[in-house]
């Protein structure tokens, strides 16, 4: 099972890639000896900023929780406490929402709203935001985009959401708003209320 800090880093990956000054934070990572010299060199030798940050995130994911905690300290020293706070908010969300009851709820809601979603969802629009927010890995995104029809793409998207936790489902609803599908978000939430009132 994925550890909490790995989940958090996956969900914050796009934001870290966008906002992190990797050269500055690497200076503190080196000072605090989070990694050995070979790993530090591997990160620094990546040819683009995006590649450097991706490699850094992957190394932290492979390490233990202590390394992750010390990385957050490096963010403070690099004047990026905002990114540390973002990670800790995600920690709270991830730790608090992964309950069997919630998982069952969002699976039921998606099943009941499948017809609405299949009829009214512009899957190519919403999948761009799903990708941007890092809800699924690249392979899953590609599988969805490669489906021969929009109906099959939506079906695969829903199946993937049902396999994920409540947090991913909540993020998907944000993607619906961003892709001008607020009506579908409202339909899902009406169904949630009905189920919770039972």
Q: Within this chain, do residues 180 and 117 fall inside the same structural domain, yes or no?
A: yes
Return the structure tokens found at 189: 């939430």
pLDDT of residue 39: 94
- Other CB atoms within a 10 A radius of the CB of residue 4 amount to 15
122-151 per-position pLDDT tens digit: 999 999 999 998 888 889 999 999 999 999
Tally of domains within the chain: 2
Distance, in Å, from the CA atom of 40 to the CA atom of 27, rounded to the nearest integer, reads 10
User: Do 85 and 154 belong together in one domain?
Assistant: no
Tell me: the pLDDT tens digits for 76-85?
999 998 999 8
pLDDT digits (tens, 9 = 90+) for 22-36: 999 999 999 999 999
In angstroms, rounded to a whole number, what is the distance separating the alpha carbons of residues 100 and 141? 25
CB count within 10 Å of CB 71 equals 23
Give the structural domain span for 124: 100-197
- Nearest CA to 183 out of 116, 137, 115, 100 is that of 116
On the question of pLDDT at 48 being above 60, the answer is yes
| Residue 100 tokens, joined | 């069997």
| CA neighbor of 65 nearest in space, from 2, 133, 21 | 2
Domain boundary among 97, 125, 143: 97
Residues 110 and 80 in one domain: no
- Angle at Cα 113 formed by Cα 109 and Cα 117, nearest 5°? 130
Domain boundary among 97, 120, 135: 97
CATH code of 57's domain: 1.10.533.10
Question: Does position 99 have pLDDT exceeding 80, yes or no?
Answer: no
Q: Are residues 107 and 189 both part of a single domain?
A: yes
Q: Which residues lie closer than 8 Å to 181 by C-beta, 6 or more apart? A: 120, 121, 122, 125, 126
Same domain, 77 and 138: no
How far is Cα of residue 70 from the mean position of the Cα atoms in its chain? Answer: 22
- pLDDT interval class at 46 (50, 70, 90): very high
Task: Output the six-digit token pair for 180.
Answer: 């001008």
DSSP 42-67: HHHT-SSHHHHHHHHHHHHHHS-HHH
Does residue 59 register a pLDDT over 90? Answer: yes
């Amino acid at each position: 099972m994925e550890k909490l800090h790995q989940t958090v880093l996956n969900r914050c990956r796009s934001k870290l890639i966008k906002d992190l000054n990797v050269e500055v934070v690497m200076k503190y990572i080196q000072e605090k000896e989070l990694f050995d010299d070979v790993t530090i060199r591997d990160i620094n030798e990546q040819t683009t900023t995006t590649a450097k940050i991706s490699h850094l995130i992957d190394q932290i994911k492979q390490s233990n929780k202590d390394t992750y905690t010390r990385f957050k300290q490096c963010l403070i020293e690099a004047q990026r406490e905002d990114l540390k706070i973002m990670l800790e908010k995600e920690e709270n969300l991830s730790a608090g929402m992964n309950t069997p009851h919630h998982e069952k709820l969002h699976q039921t809601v998606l099943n009941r709203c499948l017809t609405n979603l299949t009829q009214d969802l512009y899957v190519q629009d919403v999948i761009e935001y799903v990708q941007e927010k890092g809800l699924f890995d690249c392979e899953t995104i590609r599988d969805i985009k490669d489906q021969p029809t929009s109906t099959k793409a939506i079906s695969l998207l829903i199946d993937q959401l049902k396999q994920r936790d409540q947090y991913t489902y909540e993020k998907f609803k944000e993607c619906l708003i961003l892709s001008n599908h607020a009506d579908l978000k409202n339909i899902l939430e009406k169904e949630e209320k009905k189920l919770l009132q039972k």
